[in-house]
Amino acid sequence: MTPDRALDFMNDMLWAAAVIAGPVMLATLLVGLTVSIFQVATQIQEITLSYVPKIVTAGLMLIILGPWMISRLTSFARDLYLTIPALAQ
């Protein structure tokens, strides 16, 4: 295996990880930003007010997008395993 091919595999792995984790992270970021704006506007500095909505949002996103995330991950793994015989050349 050449270094270029290894870097291509690494690039594919990083893009797959970003695409799979992106929607959950983005939803959690938006909820955290909304809660922070609410806390600044109302001057309520309750620590659980910032954590609980983010945890609930992440959990709901994982439940909703879980099948898509698993299929995306298994497709990446399957493609990677199918390239193993070509690496021996």
Domain count, the chain: 1
| Cα(85)–Cα(77) distance, integer angstroms | 14
pLDDT tens-digit readout, 30-78: 999 999 999 889 888 888 888 999 999 999 999 999 999 999 999 999 9
DSSP collapsed to 3 states, 37-78: HHHHHHCCCCCHHHHHHHHHHHHHHHHHHHHHHHHHHHHHHH
pLDDT at 50: 83
pLDDT surpassing 80 at residue 1: no
Neighbours of 70 (CB within 10 A): 11
Q: Which domain holds residue 23?
A: 3-87
Contact indicator for 62, 27 with CB cutoff of 8 Å:
no
Global pTM? 0.80
